[in-house]
Structure 1
């Protein structure tokens, strides 16, 4: 069983998972599909691009029921990658990559400024920690016999140095969000008796600006290509290998 957001769904990595909603951005080569094939498991993949912890626990998303409802207690392995949208992580980086005059556009500019406001991001992160713990507890309650693995986010940003078009305070904020999400995910896994797959740590040298990236650079979305600031096919394969090792 795979739960989570676009970092697990794999938007733009062809081909699309058969029968999946187009809005889910669910790839047939995302890490859940690769793990299931490697371990010989039947897969139920309810990952959905844009999902928050609320969409996992209690809220429908574009007509899809809360992801947790897919669990029935028969699961052998459950993976979950979630929390980034609660914190506004990728939206914040996307906003930071836009030309600065866009921040003054009516309505849109207000949203961009909110995403780039450190105080707003810090508050969102504070709320994300408790939500991740609730996700872990509810998965453990509904799938008591399963191995449950939190899979954290692949590293997007270099630890130091430039990452154009991101710069200055925006880049610093993005690094802070990434580091905090990594720690909150580890804390939630420990607090709820779940395992942790440290994709962020494993991908430090494979950030989007590296010579061997596992994620994509900021840009405008291009049909048929992995979504900007998301895993590419190599990244999904790397995460799948980590999950298989953790589940062994």
Structure 2
């Protein structure tokens, strides 16, 4: 799987790949993208001598990768026939993973607002969650097929989400703030969704000729409440990384895992 120095590398995905709050901002990146010069794609490109085109964008969904959104082209459009590496970290926004965790962690007067509670209930509705995962799986499969068509020689790596919640979060009193969901214990929902994201990435990669990097499993002991965290707990700023997103150590760890896999 070794990739020659100077090869073209396209990084796609949402904020979990972009790295909002991690300084410095990537040169020329729109502020709204949250794209950091120290996200895992930039670190990997530097270490392997690759020519990076980073089109990650905060808030992106797999629809944005496939079809784009108003004012922004599809992230797939960054891929050309000479691309030799593509990485993708996306899907959490599709299924409401990070939005639900974030909204339920807002200070009490805000998270108690009827509108916030309705949004969290919508994100965590079991039937809607199942429907969103079916759509995510279909979109990821379409993305990989399109990538194979556009760049037949590219290695395509689906990079999983770093672990955010402790493996035994349901009994952790520090996460009581996440129990604001009208549908019950949101920590249980969050753990289940993280596992389903991992399973979806692995299944699509196996079926569509991609590579799956199991970052979730490899970061299990580095959750946001651990002594060696790779993700941030909830906080009301982007400093040091957005809430429930990778910190600098997390981005470096993902880069290490990816370089090891590629080499």
| TM-score band w.r.t. shorter chain | over 0.9
Q: Unaligned stretches of 5+ in structure 2? A: 1-9
What is the CA-CA distance between 1:67 and the residue it aligns to?
0.2
Picking from 23, 28, 41, the partner of 1:32 is 41
Matched, 1:44 2:53: yes
2: CA distance between counterparts of 1:19 and 1:71?
Answer: 19
1: CA distance between counterparts of 2:260 and 2:220?
Answer: 19
Picking from 231, 238, 243, the partner of 2:246 is 231
Match of 1:176 in 2: 192
SS in 1 for 2:17: helix
SS in 1 for 2:52: coil
SS in 1 for 2:93: helix
Q: For the Cα contact (< 8 Å) 1:147–1:247, is it kept in 2?
A: no
SS in 1 for 2:185: helix
Q: Deviations over 1:122-157 (max 9, x none)?
A: 321222122211122111211111111110110111
SS in 2 for 1:26: coil
Q: For the Cα contact (< 8 Å) 1:125–1:177, is it kept in 2?
A: no
What is the CA-CA distance between 1:99 and the residue it aligns to?
4.9
SS in 1 for 2:194: helix
Q: Deviations over 1:161-185 (max 9, x none)?
A: 3152224621110011000000000
What is the CA-CA distance between 1:117 and the residue it aligns to?
2.8
Q: For the Cα contact (< 8 Å) 1:35–1:240, is it kept in 2?
A: yes
Q: For the Cα contact (< 8 Å) 1:189–1:195, is it kept in 2?
A: yes
SS in 2 for 1:86: coil
SS in 1 for 2:240: coil
Picking from 19, 32, 42, the partner of 1:23 is 32
SS in 1 for 2:86: strand
Range 14-23 or range 93-102, more displaced: 93-102
Q: Unaligned stretches of 5+ in structure 1? A: none
Picking from 256, 259, 262, the partner of 1:241 is 256
What is the CA-CA distance between 1:110 and the residue it aligns to?
2.4
Match of 2:137 in 1: 129
Matched, 1:72 2:80: yes
Normalized against structure 1, the TM-score is what? 0.94
Picking from 126, 143, 150, the partner of 1:142 is 150
SS in 2 for 1:150: strand
Match of 1:6 in 2: 15
1: CA distance between counterparts of 2:196 and 2:215?
Answer: 14
Range 167-176 or range 206-215, more displaced: 167-176
Match of 2:124 in 1: 116
What is the CA-CA distance between 1:35 and the residue it aligns to?
0.3
Q: Count the aligned residue pairs.
A: 246
SS in 2 for 1:113: helix
What is the CA-CA distance between 1:64 and the residue it aligns to?
2.0
